[in-house]
Chains A and B, each alone.
Chain A
Amino acid sequence: GAVVSQHPSRVICKSGTSVKIECRSLDFQATTMFWYRQFPKKSLMLMATSNEGSKATYEQGVEKDKFLINHASLTLSTLTVTSAHPEDSSFYICSARETATNEKLFFGSGTQLSVL
Chain B
Amino acid sequence: GQNIDQPTEMTATEGAIVQINCTYQTSGFNGLFWYQQHAGEAPTFLSYNVLDGLEEKGRFSSFLSRSKGYSYLLLKELQMKDSASYLCAVHTGGGNKLTFGTGTQLKVEL
Contacts and interface: CB of A to CB of B under 8 A. Distances in A.
B98 A43 contact: no
Interface in A59-111: 91, 93, 97, 102-110
A109 B99 contact: no
A108 B42 contact: yes
Contact of B45 (A43, A91, A102, A104): A104
A44 B87 contact: yes
B67 interface: no
A42 B96 contact: no
A25 to B, nearest CB: 14
A34 B99 CA distance: 12
B40 A110 contact: yes
Interface in B85-110: 87, 95-103, 105
Interface residues of B, number: 20
B42 A105 contact: no
Given A44-B87, A103-B48, A49 B42 contact: no
Contact of B48 (A45, A104, A106): A104
A105 B98 contact: yes
A57 to B, nearest CB: 8
A75 B45 CA distance: 20
A115 interface: no
B43 interface: yes
A41 B41 contact: no
Given A41-B105, A42-B102, A103-B48, A49 B41 contact: no
B23 to A, nearest CB: 15
Contacts of B95: 32, 49
B41 A109 contact: yes
A19 interface: no
Nearest to A49: B95
A55 to B, nearest CB: 14
Interface in A21-52: 32, 34, 36, 41-46, 49
